[in-house]
C-alpha cells in the first residue's frame, strides 16, 4: 500500500508538471486569441482587401536581425499581395547580409486556427530563388516550451559576400489552396500518454482549420559559415564565373571594350612553367572538395595558388565545380 501511494504521488506530480508545461507551451498564443479565433472574419476581410503593390520588389521589407526569435502577428492590419498561389496577407523581411550562413526557423503557431506558412526567398535583385512549402514545413507536436506548430527549418548561404545572387529577402505568406485545408494535431491526452509511456484511451486527434490570419514565430541563427542540415540554397558565384567574360553590346555581334582597357597599354607578364601533371591533379581535387563543402573562398585561393605555380586550367575546374554544385 505504501508503494502504491508513492507511485500515485509521483504520477500526480508528473501530471501536474506536464500540464504546467503544456500551459506554458501555448502561452505565446494567449495574447493573440482574437487573431487565432477569427477564421471567418479573416477570410471575409481577405476577399475584400486591396493588394498593396504591383511588384514584389515594392513590398514592405523589415530588417531581420540574427540571434533572437520574433513573434509576427499577421492579421487585418497586415498588407496583402497577389502571390502566384492567390492573394494573402504577408510579412516581408530583409535578411542579415554581413554574417555567417543563416539557419532560419519559421513556425505557424497553433491555437483554434493556424496560419499555415509558405516562405518565398529572393536574391538582391528580387528574383525568386526558391519557395519553402509543405515539403519542408510540417506539423510539430508541442515539446518543452514550444506549443503545437507547423514548422520549417532551412539554411541561407553567406559564403560569398557581395554576390547579387545571395538570398537577401524573405516573404512569409499562405496560399489559397491551404486556406481550405486543416492540420491534424496530437490530442493532449495522447501527448500526455506518450510522455509517460502509458496506453492512451483519450479523445481523437483534433483537426485545426487553416486561416488567413495567424501568428508566426521567426528565428534566425548566424551559424558562422557552418552548413547545417538540408534545405540549403547555394547561389551561383557570378563574380567568379563572369570575371573574364567580354561585355556584349545590345547590337548583334558587337563587343564593347571597357574604357579602362581601351586607353591602357597592356602589360605583358611572363607565364610560369607549366605545372607537373601530378601537382595539377592534386590542385584539381582540392578545388573540387572545397566547392563541394561550400568553402568557395578556399577554392578560389587554391585556384590563385595553382595558377601562380603554373596551372593552365585550375580556373576552368573551379567554374565547372561551381556549376555542378548548383544541380
Which pTM does this prediction carry?
0.62
Nine cell digits for residue 53: 503593390
Q: Report pLDDT digits (tens) over 188-225.
A: 767 666 666 666 666 688 999 999 999 999 999 988 64
The string of DSSP letters for 43-55 reads HHHHHHPPP--SS
How many domains does the chain contain in total?
A: 2
260 and 187: one domain? no
% of the chain surpassing 70 pLDDT = 70
111 and 257: one domain? no
Residue 103: closest CA among 6, 220, 18: 220
Residue ending a domain, choose from 233, 256, 290: 233
Looking at residues 124-137, what average pLDDT do you find? 94
26 and 44: one domain? yes
48 and 87: one domain? yes
185 and 273: one domain? no
- How far apart CA 62 and CA 65 sit, in angstroms, is 10
Range of the domain at 126: 2-233
The residues with which 130 forms a beta bridge, in sequence order, are 121
Q: Report pLDDT digits (tens) over 261-271.
A: 444 444 444 55
Amino acid at each position: 500500500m505504501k508503494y502504491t501511494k508513492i507511485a500515485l504521488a509521483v504520477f500526480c506530480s508528473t501530471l501536474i508538471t506536464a500540464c504546467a508545461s503544456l500551459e506554458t507551451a501555448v502561452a505565446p498564443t494567449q495574447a493573440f486569441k482574437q487573431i487565432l479565433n477569427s477564421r471567418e472574419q479573416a477570410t471575409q476581410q481577405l476577399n475584400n482587401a486591396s493588394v498593396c503593390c504591383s511588384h514584389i520588389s515594392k513590398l514592405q521589407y523589415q530588417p531581420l536581425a540574427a540571434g533572437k526569435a520574433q513573434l509576427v502577428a499577421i492579421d487585418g492590419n497586415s498588407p496583402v499581395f497577389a502571390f502566384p498561389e492567390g492573394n494573402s496577407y504577408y510579412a516581408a523581411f530583409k535578411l542579415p547580409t554581413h554574417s555567417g550562413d543563416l539557419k532560419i526557423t519559421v513556425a505557424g503557431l497553433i491555437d483554434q486556427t493556424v496560419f499555415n506558412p509558405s516562405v518565398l526567398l529572393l536574391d538582391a535583385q528580387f528574383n525568386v530563388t526558391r519557395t519553402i512549402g509543405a515539403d519542408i514545413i510540417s506539423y510539430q507536436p508541442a515539446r518543452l516550451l514550444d506549443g503545437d506548430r507547423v514548422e520549417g527549418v532551412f539554411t541561407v548561404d553567406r559564403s560569398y559576400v557581395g554576390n547579387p545572387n545571395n538570398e537577401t529577402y524573405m516573404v512569409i505568406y499562405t496560399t489559397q489552396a491551404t486556406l481550405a485545408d486543416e492540420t491534424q494535431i496530437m490530442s493532449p491526452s495522447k501527448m500526455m500518454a506518450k510522455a509517460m509511456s502509458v496506453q492512451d484511451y483519450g479523445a481523437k486527434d483534433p483537426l485545426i482549420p487553416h486561416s488567413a490570419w495567424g501568428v508566426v514565430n521567426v528565428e534566425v541563427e548566424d551559424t558562422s559559415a557552418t552548413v547545417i542540415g538540408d534545405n540549403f540554397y547555394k547561389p551561383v558565384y557570378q563574380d567568379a564565373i563572369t570575371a573574364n567574360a567580354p561585355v556584349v553590346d545590345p547590337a548583334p555581334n558587337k563587343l564593347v571594350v571597357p574604357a579602362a582597357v581601351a586607353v591602357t597599354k597592356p602589360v605583358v607578364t611572363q607565364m610560369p612553367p607549366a605545372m607537373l601533371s601530378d601537382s595539377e591533379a592534386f590542385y584539381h581535387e582540392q578545388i573540387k572538395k572545397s566547392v563541394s563543402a561550400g568553402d568557395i573562398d578556399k577554392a578560389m585561393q587554391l585556384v590563385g595558388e595553382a595558377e601562380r605555380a603554373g596551372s593552365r586550367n585550375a580556373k576552368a575546374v573551379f567554374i565547372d565545380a561551381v556549376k555542378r554544385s548548383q544541380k
